[in-house]
Structure 1
Amino acid sequence: AQNIQQFVAFRLIQGIAGAGGIVIARSIATDKFSGKDLAKMLAIIGAINGIAPVVAPIIGGVFTEAIGWQGIFIILLVLGVLLLIGCMRFRESLPAENRLATKWADTFNSFKVVLRNKQYVCYVLQLAFAQGVLFAYIASSPFIIQQHYGYSPFAFSICFSINAIAIGGAAAFSVKFRWPANGTLVGCMGMLIFSLLECSALALGCSFWIYELLLIAVLFMMGMTFTTSTALAMECERTNAGTASALLGAVCFSFGGIVSPLVGIGNILVSTGVIFVICSFCSLSCILLALGRRRTKLYFAFSTSQKR
């Protein structure tokens, strides 16, 4: 790249290409599994997708010190080659009898079909607002931990790693629920409660340890919803799995991109806490709309009876 315009353009193409892996992974899982098995498989995918944005900056920071920022792109090139070799062994996961011959126009029309499914849309929005919490955390934590609390980059990396483990552990724990909707409800309610506590603590100038412990709780609850809501959303649109997966990823990452700069408005401690609360509240509202009052009561009753 000879200038910043070329650099951004190439990165845009790289991002579009990289999005394929996220979309296709969920589509393959939906093709091959259903019900509880689908939730377990999406738990693995959700754990990877949840941890990756958190761990990647740590790994990138380590390599940048050793080989410079230009060297990062050599590593990405090597990863790209390995992925290309792996894709050569890929086989279509959807049985031949279930495949449809579609045109580009049909592909775009399928988005309209998927968007008419109100329950699917609610699940996607729930995930998108949860993703807003994640990206608000990613955008604000370097400034809060390093500038406000005065910790070193190394200490910040350790905190980032611990938080990533919390997200991954939550994704794995979420499969313990007999019904995915219960996991999403519990996760959303817990996320809102701990976000309120985190917002209050930051506004009152809490210590670092209170901030970090509450943050781990927020991220754990958020991680629970990633897996369960993805399973619920994909189950709603099995016949349009590719389109549903693409729309899910696009909306979630768009929300993350919109939310990230908002933490810089005014006092970053207050703005981060407020965004946590708003996104958590909207996330809970979306899952309640998806399930409906009667269904929500049934899910909780089912969960209670199973525990007994």
Structure 2
Amino acid sequence: MPLRLLLILGSLSAFGPMAIDFYLPSFPAMAVAFGTDVEHVQLSLAAYFAGLAIGQLGYGPMADRFGRRGPLLFGVGLFTLASIACALAPSLEWLIAARFVQALGGCAGMVISRAVVRDMCDPVNGAKVFSQLMLVMGLAPILAPFAGGFLLNSFGWASIFVCLTLFGALAGAGVALWLPETLSADHPRPPLSGTLRRYLGLLRDPEFLAFGLSGGVAMAGMFAYIAGSPFVFIELYDVPAEHYGWLFGSNAAGFILAAQINARLLRLRGPSFWLRRLVWLYFFAGAALLLLALFRPAQLWVLMVPLFIGMASLGCIIPNASACAMAKQGQHAGSASALMGSLQFAVAAGASWLIGALHDGSAVPMASVIALCGLIAAVLAWFSGQLETTLAHPSNE
């Protein structure tokens, strides 16, 4: 795949992490500005996850019916306008509502970029491209907290959303100028009236669900880390907001490195093989994190070691799970991508809410949710392996 197209798809995929990671260092400052606490500011993050979960269900069928470019341009435009509304928010309620709309726009890039990869690649090459996209979009969680901390200290929290407005405008220009229509003219264009039937059919596909949810639940653990880390790093362990990016970026760097290793591992065996094995690394890292958090260590680095291992392992788990879930969905790749993303972010919204609900002034809630997600993801990955074996060697009965 050409580098320019990879950069465009990576930027579209980065709408999620950019709009999430960019403003994380500002949680305490926003709590002061709106006269509330960090737990209530976290609702803006849960609202964003909810918007991602709901919005994706609409873009998938539209992308299958009308092609990839039109829905993409609409979504990017909505994201850009909502980012302006976030910057002008006079109250926390306004911000929460604007974040929800921002997610409804931003999820277009996340859904349709996966469909574009499916249009252009077979499963193995698709997994490699997803790994390469992790490199491009992985720069967002490394750079965003640094930039967010700098903007927060220099210009205030609203400047963060001004930058998101510019990012959305640039991404829209890239789509308009250089992203071709990848859905061929002779490809079946299913009517929107059959959307519910297609979604129900996918929900009855146990292989699609097992692969999609194994990656989705693992991703929910990452978002539990995203939701919980501002409190744990900045308030619990007194890390300055402008230095938050160093810690957050180190885990993102591990994620990127693992994704590139994954692309090379795929030369040896297929994505499902590596998914079922590497997901256990994530589970054991989460279990170790929870065990250490229960002892409430005085030094943050004690928690950072299992956090790094767990977040890095996701660089292998997420692209492999995505490629496996999308492998057999050629006729309705947009709908499959949308449903997979919707399920993933619905779980992520629940994980983010759970962090706030379990808040006890320690790192235990964050660690508990990550460990639980690791366990469920490992079970689902194991189940997907059983399904593959059954489908490959059906019973004679």
* TM-score range normalised by the length of the shorter chain: 0.7 to 0.9
Q: Structure 1 residues 203 and 51 mapped into 2: Cα distance closer, same or farther (>3 Å)?
A: farther
Contact 1:50 1:223 in 2 (8 A): no
Contact preservation (8 Å) 2:149, 2:244: no
How many corresponding residue pairs? 296
Pairwise CA RMSD: 2.3
- Residue by residue, what CA displacement relative to the aligned partner does 1:269-296 show, whole Å, maximum 9, x if unpaired? 2222221221101001111111108849
Change (3 A) 1:14 1:153: closer
Q: What do residues 171-230 of structure 1 show as CA deviations (whole Å, max 9, x unaligned)?
A: 121122221112212221001111111111111233322211111011111221011111
User: Quick one: structure 1 residues 71 and 100, their matched pair in 2 at CA, closer, same or farther if it must change by over 3 Å?
Assistant: same
Q: 2:180: which partner in 1? A: 91
Residues 67-106 of structure 1 aligned to structure 2 (within 5 Å): 67-89=155-177, 90-97=179-186, 99-106=187-194
TM-score (norm 2): 0.69
Report what 1:261 is aligned to. 353
Counterpart in the other structure of 2:277: 186
Deviation at 1:49, TM superposition (A): 4.8
Distance 1:171 1:159 in 2: 19
Q: Could you tell me how far 1:48 is from its partner in structure 2?
A: 4.4
Distance 2:353 2:142 in 1: 17
Change (3 A) 1:2 1:235: closer
Q: Write the deviation string for residues 56-84 of structure 1: whole angstroms up to 9, x where unpaired.
A: 34422322322323333332232222222
What's 2:321 paired with? 229
**In 1: Cα distance, 2:197 partner to 2:136 partner:** 31
- The match for 1:24 is 112
Superposed CA offset, 1:24-60 (max 9, x none)? 1110000100032111111123444556456534422
One-letter amino acid of the structure 2 residue matched with residue 93 of structure 1: T
Larger helix percent: 1
The sequence identity of aligned pairs, in percent, is 24
Q: Is the 8 A contact 1:54 1:138 kept in 2?
A: no
5+ residue gaps, structure 1, are 299-308
Residues 60 and 13 of structure 1: CA distance in aligned 2, closer, same or farther (over 3 Å): same
Alpha-carbon distance in 2 for matches of 1:70, 1:185: 43
Q: Report if aligned partners of 1:114, 1:240 keep a CA contact under 8 Å in 2.
A: no
Asked if the contact 1:181/1:229 (under 8 Å) is kept, the reply is yes
Q: Distance in 2 between matches of 1:85 and 1:14?
A: 18
Aligned to 1:219: 311
Of the three residues 235, 246, 249, the one matched with 1:158 is 246
Q: 1:112-155: per-residue Cα shift (whole Å, max 9, x none)?
A: 22222110001111112111210111112222222222332233
String of CA shifts for 1:209-253, please: whole Å, max 9, x gaps.
221111101111122101111111110322211011111211112
Q: State the alpha-carbon separation in 2 of the partners of residues 159 and 242 from structure 1.
A: 35
1:161 CA drift (Å): 0.9
1:280 and 2:371 matched? no
- Measure the CA separation in 2 of the matches of 1:257 and 1:53: 18
Preserved CA contact (<8 Å) 1:46 1:226: no
CA distance in 2, matches of 1:20, 1:221: 26
1:245 to 322, 332, 337: 337
TM, length-normalised to structure 1? 0.87
Is 2:131 aligned against 1:43?
yes
Contact 1:39 1:228 in 2 (8 A): yes
CA distance in 1, matches of 2:260, 2:89: 44
Task: Judge which range, 174-183 or 23-32, deviates more.
Answer: 174-183
Instruction: Indicate the larger mover: 50-59 or 209-218.
Output: 50-59
Q: Which runs of 5+ in 2 are unaligned?
A: 1-87, 393-397
